[in-house]
Chain A
């Protein structure tokens, strides 16, 4: 999140991000970070494993699950903002033969 804060506040912090190249690169990194749900899925699977192995109890599971769901929602929102595809929500068959 630290990186994001810098980006959001960048104009007020003075000419730190000197070149266009840096900006684009940072923008890409931030974008990838915000729109990638792979680490969230991994955390969810790890949480499930912890419960299965008896390392955490049900209450802890429920609490952590709620946090993870919130992160999923945030990623979904960012993906929508960037016009990327999202999982979930209503779908229909696209034009063509239905398979890629």
Chain B
């Protein structure tokens, strides 16, 4: 990836120069734009390839496969964040490289209608990520406080430590497990419910690791960004003894745009 460096000196418009184009996103703009030297692979110049009122935000790249390392993903992300300050955008998947500007133009032409429809739908929409983790011990303690049956059973087992049966312990374990699952569902439902009025849509992704109970993305209108933000903070205060909130964004609407591009390997 070090052959990236020699692309910096390039200032002339890169047309048919044999180099590839890394595509970050699609926006609506009918003139060419520069976004600075912030591209993937060590600060490549980021600019647009235009077709009518659509523009692909690209940078020059050697024909390589980009590993999804933190460095590369952050570079991809940073370009989209920069573009997002001014435009509604359709993010491309990480690592999408076209062989030439003409191939990028072919994408814009052939997918013109779908891009246009999605850009209309996503106009002024942004995404926020919300991951919620729980502290198992604290949740168990809360359950023991609230649940009489569990509390009594536990006291009984502690009192008669020697004589308490294997089955009593088993039963306690099962009750706690069930109560935890119930609690997790209750928290998640409540949080979704509270955020419903300040978001346009939400999507739950698979949780990561065993402490996470929610891994969701929320689509939010720019106009309600502030109320959404305040609501998340309010909820995290409500649950601060039990749950850890990891709140991120604004992001491009990664989780709410799925245009399946019919792309093939360019050889």
Contact = CB atoms under 8 A, between A and B. Distances in A.
Tell me whether A and B are bound partners: yes
A65 B259 contact: no
Interface stretch (A5-13, A14-22, A28-36, A87-95): A87-95
B263 interface: yes
Given A52-B246, A91-B265, A98-B114, A69 B67 contact: yes
Interface string B66-79: 11111000000000
A99 B260 contact: yes
Contacts of B109: 98
A1 to B, nearest CB: 22
A78 interface: no
A26 interface: no
B65 A89 contact: yes
A91 B69 contact: no
A73 B98 contact: no
B264 A94 contact: yes
Contacts of B82: none
Given A46-B208, A88-B95, A93 B260 contact: no
A45 to B, nearest CB: 5
- In this complex, the member of A61, A73, A88, A97 whose beta carbon has the largest number of chain B beta carbons within 10 angstroms is A88
Contacts of B263: 91-94
Interface in A34-67: 42, 44-46, 48-49, 52-53, 61, 65
Contact of B68 (A42, A61, A72): A72
Contacts of B259: 99
Contacts of B67: 69, 72-73
Interface of A: 42, 44-46, 48-49, 52-53, 61, 65, 69, 72-73, 76, 85-94, 96-100
